[in-house]
Amino acid sequence: MILAVDVGNSRVKWGLHDGQAWHKRGWAPLADIVALGSDWAALEAPEHIVISNVAGPNVRSALDKLFSRWPCEAAWLTAQAAQCGVINRYQAPARLGSDRWAALIAAWARCAGACVVVNAGTALTVDALNDRGEFLGGLIVPGLTTMQAALAANTAGLQVASGQYADFPTRTEDAIFSGAVAAMAGAVEKMAAVLGSRQGHAPQCLISGGDAARLHARLSVAATIVDNLVLDGLIEIARV
């Protein structure tokens, strides 16, 4: 059994995998990470634990305490120069976020061709993978909630409020929401166009993350929503 754990900026997602299929999956808010202790109490003991953590050393320490119930040693993912068929062209490969690296590996295992790999969470990451499995580089954009909060915090008279998407918004809250979604869609569509021009064909596009559905609904390029792309990548890494 493999326990895969994806620690993001707002949530901890996890899954128990037997090498062929998921047995159980779940998540907890980052602020309530200790809740995982009860979630994992009845789990079959994993033989391998693999983690992507972008939330810092304090979270790593908290998780290490939870992992101590099992005899296996936890493997904390760091992006490599090459792994699982993917070549990392980042100037300093290890500085690429472990979540982005795991998602790229999952995308290559799924597509084996040019792909725009998107995670729509606290931040929006839009990464380009070519037909040879090379990660060419990518974009980082504030995510939907982050953009809305930043605008409200830095603009007099604006407050974060629930909005709806409209092509021509006529309420301020809708204008903020629609602008944020349009900005995210624009980043994805731009990357798809640039990568497609370089490859000579349209790339596939995979989208994961909490705002994947909202983004997917507004894209003008074909895309597929994949739940827990980072967890899928962690399993690919653990199986090698």
The pLDDT value recorded for residue 152 is 74
The pLDDT value recorded for residue 206 is 98
Please list the pLDDT of the chain residue by residue as tens digits (240 residues): 999 999 998 899 999 999 899 999 999 998 888 889 888 988 999 999 999 999 999 999 999 999 999 999 999 999 999 999 999 999 999 999 999 999 999 999 999 999 999 999 999 999 999 999 999 999 999 999 898 888 877 776 666 667 899 999 999 889 989 999 999 999 999 999 999 999 999 999 999 999 999 999 999 999 999 999 999 999 999 987
Report the C-alpha gap between 9 and 124 in whole angstroms: 12
Q: Where would I find the H helices in the chain?
A: 36-40, 57-67, 98-111, 144-154, 172-199, 212-216, 229-239
Which has the closest alpha carbon to 137: 175, 178, 190?
Answer: 190
The letter for the amino acid at 169 is P
Is 12 exposed, middle or buried, given 0-12, 13-18 or 19+ CB atoms closer than 10 A?
buried
Dihedral sign, CA of 72, 23, 225, 178? negative
The pLDDT value recorded for residue 160 is 67
Residue with tokens 């507004």, as numbered in its chain: 218
- The set of residues, in sequence order, having a beta carbon less than 8 Å from that of 7 and lying 6+ positions away, is 30, 51, 52, 53, 54, 55, 59, 63
CA angle 181, 27, 10 (to 5 degrees): 45
The pLDDT value recorded for residue 48 is 95
> Is 6 in the active site?
no
**Which is catalytic among the residues 18, 32, 99, 127?**
99
What are the chain's domains? Answer: 2-76 (3.30.420.40), 82-144+173-227 (3.30.420.40)
Residue with tokens 């725009």, as numbered in its chain: 116
Report the C-alpha gap between 209 and 230 in whole angstroms: 9
DSSP string for 56-114:
-HHHHHHHHHHHTTSSSPEEE----SEETTEEE--SSGGGS-HHHHHHHHHHHHHHSS-
The pLDDT value recorded for residue 31 is 87
What global pTM score does this model have? 0.94
Is 20 exposed, middle or buried, given 0-12, 13-18 or 19+ CB atoms closer than 10 A?
exposed
Report the C-alpha gap between 133 and 207 in whole angstroms: 18
